Structure 1
Amino acid sequence: SLGVAVVILLFGGSVSAGVMSWSGYAAVMAGAFVGSLAVIGVLLALSAVIRSDLMLLIVGVMIGYLASSLIMLLNYTSTADGIQSYVMWGMGNFSGVTSTSLPMFALIAGAGIVLSLLLVKPLNIVQLGADYASSLGVNLGRVRNMLLIATGLLSSSVTAFCGPIAFIGLAMPHVARMIFRTADHRVLLPATLVVGAAVALLCNLICVLPAHMVLPLNAVTPVVGVPVILYVILRRGRRS
């Protein structure tokens, strides 16, 4: 979101790099992609210093707060048209993946999916414990870095083309786990892909059902995602 905020709110929807320039939709996609990869790059650099996954998660949350602060400052100094454009982008829209942009989207997202599939075996081993995984020769640092790269590729491609789609990526792995009742990533990863795609299409269908209007995608996805997250939190709370 920060990359798009810089493009829309600071540069007015047009960016240049040497002899190349982008404007409109192309500039928004470039900003989202560069911004997402920049955040992942920072996390990769910090992961070499921070060994605790929990601390790395906390640092990621702090980076999110810092990005939100910068976006707020950009909103405060931007024009009304810029603010409106940024708000419209933040609502999310699958129509950004056109027949022209589909090959690029598929290439980036496909690379992230392939990298995720390569991590299935080490992730299953890591579930047995970090010490046990290390004794079997699993390089925990390398696995974590590859996870960050795969996450960056997938999140940046979706954000660049569709906007910040809320709750689908957060809730669907839990839904897949509840449906198939397994922690085996050989099952969970394909199941999450299928369940996530089905729910995303369902949300998009709900958005276009009202006559003479199209609802914002991010107004529908929390209705599906929030109950799942609350259920997971409450169930874990009862177990503890």
Structure 2
Amino acid sequence: MRKILIPFLLISSLILFILSLYYSGTAESITTSDVNNFIIYKIKSGINYLFNKHVFDTYLSEKDRFKFELLEQYRFPPTIGAIFVGIILSASGLMLQTLFRNLLASPYTTGISSGVLLIAVLVIFNDSLSKLMISLFGGKYLVVAGWIGGIISMLMLLIIAYRVRESNGVLIVALLLTYFFSGIRAFYISQAEDIKVHEYYGYVIGNLKKITLNDLPIMAICTIIFLIALIFLVKPLNALLFGERYAKSFGLDIKKIRILILLTTCFAVGSIIPFVGLMAFVGIVSPYLARIIIKTSDHKYLLPTTMLLGVNLLLFCHILTVKYASFLNIKYAPPLPIGSLLDIIGGLLVIYLIFKEEKKIVIQ
């Protein structure tokens, strides 16, 4: 089962990636043949770039150039972004669940996202600060604000992890920190104008459509660094499955490992959330599904399975956000934010699995 599962998930990810390019837009002028030609054109251009010579003819007519521009600017970035987001959020959720030995641990219950949102709130609801950020960073001022919030959250979590002895204590303090940040956000929102509240919720709610072509290199670099770090954390994560005392008996420095795991997840999640907003259930559902399917907690198998499930889930939901109206025979319905759809599907799925598969889940 494990030998064929990862290739199967890779193939399904590729299929969903292509389907996402087909169906994740509302422009009727873009046909499936246009998407096919776009994919072929990208492959040819990539080969030409790789060999630094004109191997294939990549001439485009004016009509094709316009259609390819639409695909490249509006369908390609969210589809590629879904892969990066799926990898980071699902793997981060798994790592935090292993560290805290709690299936509900995720980047959204450990204060990482709360710091991102807090700084975003301060920037949105403070006119002078907002003008300063816009003058410095232009249209990406909220993304930069989110990064600053992520760094603050990361530093606070690392200090907590260093000072508190037990991992459960770290989780409790981090959760209380989340409530503290939420209280400050609620105060600002209650005093704000409607237009500012609308801007805040537009930033918070999970939406892959906010990703642009210029964002992809940054997201790719963060994902690559994150994946490299995961390679070195597989053995420590497996040791933590049996408890911190057992891990200590194998010579592991628990405090150091805890800080490395939190540093890795904070860096990756804090880099991604400012681009896409909140997508809470990916980090909970994907590890849960992976444990049920492969029936092991060995991170050598669990990590790739979890990441691929996260990618599949995000790509599938990304297609549904645009095409749900045609499935329900609704005319002129606007695209759904993917965060809302993930909450609906993820919540129902987890409830179903708890009732059906609870005894089969490997959590040791």
1:99 paired residue among 190, 196, 213 = 213
Partner in structure 2 of residue 5 of structure 1: 121
Superposed, 1:18-97 pairs within 5 Å as 21-24=136-139, 26-97=140-211
| Amino acid aligned to 2:153 | V
Counterpart Cα distance in 1 of 2:184 and 2:346 = 27
Counterpart Cα distance in 1 of 2:194 and 2:170 = 37
Rate the CA distance shift 1:144–1:233 in 2: closer, same or farther, 3 A: farther
| Amino acid aligned to 2:207 | N
Q: CA deviation at 1:146?
A: 0.8
5+ long unaligned stretches in structure 1: none
Partner in structure 2 of residue 169 of structure 1: 283
| Amino acid aligned to 1:219 | S
| Amino acid aligned to 1:218 | G
Q: Which shifted more, 6-15 or 172-181? A: 6-15
Preserved contact between residue 111 and residue 153 of structure 1 (Cα < 8 Å): no
| TM-score, L = length of structure 1 | 0.89
Counterpart Cα distance in 2 of 1:110 and 1:93 = 22
> What do residues 183-207 of structure 1 show as CA deviations (whole Å, max 9, x unaligned)?
0001111111110011011111111
2:335 paired residue among 214, 223, 226 = 214
Rate the CA distance shift 1:12–1:95 in 2: closer, same or farther, 3 A: farther
Alignment of 1:225 with 2:346, yes or no, is yes
* Larger gyration radius, structure 1 or structure 2: 2
Preserved contact between residue 154 and residue 267 of structure 2 (Cα < 8 Å): no
Q: CA deviation at 1:117?
A: 2.5
Rate the CA distance shift 1:22–1:13 in 2: closer, same or farther, 3 A: farther
Q: Which shifted more, 196-205 or 8-17? A: 8-17
Alignment of 1:199 with 2:313, yes or no, is yes
Q: CA deviation at 1:94?
A: 0.9
Counterpart Cα distance in 1 of 2:221 and 2:143 = 15
Q: Which has the higher contact order (CA 8 A, sep 6+)?
A: 2
Partner SS, residue 213 of structure 2: coil
Q: CA deviation at 1:142?
A: 0.9
Rate the CA distance shift 1:95–1:122 in 2: closer, same or farther, 3 A: same
> What do residues 61-88 of structure 1 show as CA deviations (whole Å, max 9, x unaligned)?
1111111111111112222211111111
Partner SS, residue 136 of structure 2: strand
Partner SS, residue 137 of structure 2: strand
Counterpart Cα distance in 2 of 1:21 and 1:55 = 39
Q: CA deviation at 1:231?
A: 5.1
> What do residues 135-174 of structure 1 show as CA deviations (whole Å, max 9, x unaligned)?
2211111111011011112211221111111211121111
Rate the CA distance shift 1:195–1:159 in 2: closer, same or farther, 3 A: same
Partner in structure 2 of residue 14 of structure 1: 130
| TM-score, L = length of structure 2 | 0.60
Rate the CA distance shift 1:231–1:113 in 2: closer, same or farther, 3 A: farther
| Amino acid aligned to 2:346 | G
| Amino acid aligned to 1:21 | L
Preserved contact between residue 43 and residue 60 of structure 1 (Cα < 8 Å): yes
Preserved contact between residue 13 and residue 28 of structure 1 (Cα < 8 Å): no
5+ long unaligned stretches in structure 2: 1-116, 326-330, 360-364
Partner SS, residue 119 of structure 1: helix
Q: Which shifted more, 126-135 or 34-43? A: 126-135
Counterpart Cα distance in 1 of 2:206 and 2:129 = 17
Preserved contact between residue 113 and residue 150 of structure 1 (Cα < 8 Å): no
| Amino acid aligned to 1:153 | F
Identity over the aligned pairs, expressed in percent? 26
